[in-house]
Structure 1
Amino acid sequence: MDGSPKLAATDILSLHGIEVVYPNATRALHETTCQFSDGELTVLLGPSGAGKSTLLRTLNMLTRPTAGTILATGHGALKTAADIRAHRRDTAMIFQQHQLIGRMGALRNVLISRLGRHSVWSSMIGFSMAERRLALDALDRVGLFDKALTRCDSLSGGQQQRVGIARALTQEPKLILADEPIASLDPASSNRVMTILRDVCREDRIPVIVSLHQLDFAKAYADRIIGLSGGKIVFDGPPETLSDAALTRIYGAQTDSST
């Protein structure tokens, strides 16, 4: 009987025995096994250095695990370069620092996410009208339709992050990853960004996995919280089960876990 890991019907992504050890011998992620389900907003919670970003970046192989297996729906085990490229086309990434081209307008930045769907030759021709409509619809969804032609370096931080979300949506992903997307935003902008991500997850049934260090936002928006400490998962469950004992496992003796 084949004992290799399998992907359950409800799972979009499954990790089995994943470890990450950096070249300087730092163990950023201990042996980790977990699954991510369709239509679920998961928050990776923990202090700086807990392993949140490392775990998140292994999910699209931006950080290559040194051990273990990752299974993705539609692609199976991510072993070959072709499998990884296909998985990345289906996985949108939202970054803390936005990763926009400031001199370009919002619409052009959003359309960049379509390049992975094009061959080299077709990308030289330009984007289709259908793709432009898709991008404009995404900007409208995040409340920035009127900023389509505005240079991104003239937008506020919150607006730039919403352009990043529109770019992710225009990719037509099966999975959205967001690495500390509200770390540099004020509370009002943070709430707006997290509300958009939660709505996308629920309305489009796209699983969203977000790394955060703000406990209050994790409790308010997550369907599931995975708490990390020292590169290990020390809590995994819905927000309402996040007890004081669990918080101590995540944050240790820290008294302020909201920053």
Structure 2
Amino acid sequence: MIELVDVSKTYKGGVQALAPTDLSIEAGRVTVLLGPSGAGKSTLLRCMNLLVKPSTGAVRASGVSSLESRRDLRRHRRRTGMVFQHHQLIPRYTALRNVLLGRVGYHGFWRSLLPFGRADERIALEALDRVGLLDKALTRVDNLSGGMQQRVGIARALAQQPDLILADEPVASLDPATARRVMELLRRVCQESGITLVASLHQVDLALAHADRIVGLAHGQIVYDGPAADVTEDDLRVIYEGTQDESQISDQSELAEDRVAAERL
């Protein structure tokens, strides 16, 4: 669905956030980019829809001839929903109005200045219903909890009717219990709709519980790529080397294994 070929990113000052990387994302699966803060997860994720422009290499997406074309890039972004760590909502807008912003890519500039039509409103309301917030449609989002705001962000992405959702640390600002609920919701709605999900996380337990595939990053490089069920403590040590002590990694791994086992019962 998406292929990155020799993609790297160096920011101003010569800071290399991502070493030359090759990666293919399979359609219909949940892929988690796992690693500590500063490992290059967000940079890699944002290269997939060119919110971050790579310094080298190419990004290819199925169904478009070239992302160098402005028209094709717009089409790719329209079918790619984005969920952010800090929600990126407009506080004074209602939940419904925020979700309707997910429909902007389907209209030209001048049309987007006019009120949204009934068809767009129906899609937005259905998206809110899917995340359990239909009753909050007319509530300003600054009156909602952090977990609810993130669910509005997920609904906005769903309103795009995407083939792909990129979630950049979607639960990093939430408490553990809310984070679990949001990740469960995000995985479920993507699986129900056949949407490919790529999420960046640093929580090992959530990654192992919800991913089909783990891509582990450390120091801007991929150091693990394989099924979530095959991740070992040794793999986690490689990913988190120099950032967490071994006992913390072991505790996270055991917790994740317990949860996965419980979900399978």
User: How far did residue 205 of structure 1 move?
Assistant: 1.1
Q: 1:88 is matched with which residue?
A: 77
Q: 2:188 is matched with which residue?
A: 199
Write out the 4+ residue segments of structure 1 that deviate beyond 4 Å after TM superposition.
Answer: none
Q: Is the 8 A contact 1:94 1:177 kept in 2?
A: yes
Aligned pair 1:18/2:1, yes or no? Answer: no
2:8 aligns to what SS in structure 1? strand
Q: Aligned partners of 2:230, 2:191: CA distance in 1, in Å?
A: 21
Identical-residue share of aligned pairs (%): 54
Q: 1:168 is matched with which residue?
A: 157
Aligned pair 1:71/2:71, yes or no? Answer: no
Q: Aligned partners of 1:89, 1:166: CA distance in 2, in Å?
A: 15
Q: Is the 8 A contact 2:9 2:56 kept in 1?
A: yes
Q: Kindly provide the amino acid, as one letter, of the partner of residue 151 in structure 1.
A: R
Aligned pair 1:34/2:23, yes or no? Answer: yes
Q: 2:263 is matched with which residue?
A: none
Q: TM-score, normalised by structure 1?
A: 0.92
Q: Aligned partners of 1:32, 1:101: CA distance in 2, in Å?
A: 35
Aligned pair 1:157/2:132, yes or no? Answer: no
Q: Kindly provide the amino acid, as one letter, of the partner of residue 201 in structure 1.
A: C
Q: 2:229 pairs with 240, 246, 250, which one?
A: 240
Q: Which has the higher helix share?
A: 2
Q: Is the 8 A contact 1:105 1:148 kept in 2?
A: yes
User: How far did residue 105 of structure 1 move?
Assistant: 0.5
Unaligned runs of 5+ in 1: 1-11
Q: 2:203 is matched with which residue?
A: 214
1:77 aligns to what SS in structure 2? coil
Q: Aligned partners of 1:23, 1:83: CA distance in 2, in Å?
A: 28
1:103 aligns to what SS in structure 2? coil
User: How far did residue 74 of structure 1 move?
Assistant: 1.0
1:236 aligns to what SS in structure 2? strand
2:161 aligns to what SS in structure 1? coil
Unaligned runs of 5+ in 2: 253-265
Q: 1:60 pairs with 40, 45, 49, which one?
A: 49
- Which one is further off, 149-158 or 81-90? 81-90
Q: Kindly provide the amino acid, as one letter, of the partner of residue 246 in structure 1.
A: D
Q: CA RMSD in A?
A: 1.4
User: How far did residue 81 of structure 1 move?
Assistant: 2.4
Q: 2:260 is matched with which residue?
A: none
Q: 1:228 is matched with which residue?
A: 217
Q: Is the 8 A contact 2:130 2:189 kept in 1?
A: no
Aligned pair 1:123/2:106, yes or no? Answer: no
Q: Aligned partners of 1:239, 1:50: CA distance in 2, in Å?
A: 19
Q: Aligned partners of 2:214, 2:72: CA distance in 1, in Å?
A: 28
User: How far did residue 77 of structure 1 move?
Assistant: 3.2
Q: Is the 8 A contact 1:69 1:77 kept in 2?
A: no
Q: 2:125 pairs with 115, 136, 139, which one?
A: 136
Q: 1:100 is matched with which residue?
A: 89
Q: Kindly provide the amino acid, as one letter, of the partner of residue 24 in structure 1.
A: G
Alignment length (residue pairs):
248
Q: Aligned partners of 2:226, 2:10: CA distance in 1, in Å?
A: 26
Q: 1:187 is matched with which residue?
A: 176
Q: Kindly provide the amino acid, as one letter, of the partner of residue 115 in structure 1.
A: V
